[in-house]
Amino acid sequence: MREVSGVFVVQACGEFDADEVDLLLAAWEEADERALPATVVDLTGCVFGDSSFLGALLIARSRHLASGRQLVLAGPLQPRILLLLAVSGTMEAFDVTENLAEAVNRSTG
C-alpha cells in the first residue's frame, strides 16, 4: 500500500483465496482511515482470485460508494481475474483501466 499523487494504491500480487482475503480487508480499513478521494487496486500481478477475493473487491466497492470515494481496478488484468469478473457478471460494477498510470490519472483528473 502506498500513496501516489493523492491516490491510495493497493497492490495485489499472486493468488488470493480465503486465506489471503484478510490482507485486502485490512487494506480497505487503511483506505477508509486515509479517506483519500480514490483508491486504485493494482491487479497486474494478481494471477488468481476466488469468490472470497471477489467478495473483498465488492466490499471495497460498497464502502467507497457509501463514502463518495472512487475505486478503480488497474490492469492489465490476468486471464483468470478477467474470467472471475466475467463469469460472476461483476465486470461492469468496477471501473477498470489498462494500467496503473491511467488509473491514477483517472482518479485525480
In sequence order, which ranges of the chain are alpha helices (DSSP H)? 21-34, 51-67, 79-88, 100-108
pLDDT given for residue 35 in this prediction:
95
Q: Which grid cell sits at 25?
A: 480487508
Residue pLDDT, tens place only, 43-96: 999 999 999 999 999 999 999 999 999 999 999 999 999 999 999 999 999 999
The pTM score is 0.95
Give the dihedral of Cα atoms 58, 22, 32, 36; nearest 10 deg: -80
